[in-house]
Each structure stands twice: as structure tokens, then as C-alpha cells.
Amino acid sequence: MPKFTVDGIDYNTEDLSENAKTQLSSLQFLEFQMRKIKDEIAVYNTAKASYIAGLKAELEKSSAKVADAASANE
């Protein structure tokens, strides 16, 4: 007998009406989709951090070249 909990109360899925079973199934599907999206966002945030780090490194290189050129012209 599979059980689930809502508001701290345990329910038996076998005791549910067909409509309640449909609602539960939809809820479970939605929770699964939300977990997938959350996992995707974690991947995107990791990629974003990597791109930011790469951009900062390039900007530092450019700044160093500009500073070196300015020093050479003095």
C-alpha cells in the first residue's frame, strides 16, 4: 500500500478516488519536472560562473596590456 503525506497526514493511495489519484499523479509529475529544472539551473549557474571567470581573466589581460602600453609611451 503506497502512502504519501499531505500537511503531516499520511494517506493510502489505494483509498483515493480516481480524481484524487489523477491529482496526485499530476502533482508527482510536476515535482519531478521542478527537480529537473532545478538541476538544470544548477548546471547553468556553474557555466555562468565559469564564463564570468573567463571574462575576468581576459579583462585583466587587456588591462595589463593597456597599462604596459601606457607605461611604454611615457
Give residue 27's pLDDT band: very low, low, confident or very high (50, 70, 90): very high
**Residue 22: is its pLDDT beyond 80?**
yes
Across 21-36, average pLDDT? 97
What gap in Å lies between CA 59 and CA 10, rounded to an integer? Answer: 57
Domain regions of the chain by residue span: 3-73
Continuous segment of H or E residues that includes residue 70: helix 18-73
Q: Does the predicted TM-score (pTM) go above 0.85?
A: no
Contact call for residues 13 and 1 (beta carbons, < 8 A): yes
* Alpha carbons 50 and 43: distance in angstroms, whole number: 11
pLDDT tens per residue across span 51-73 = 999 999 999 998 887 777 777 77
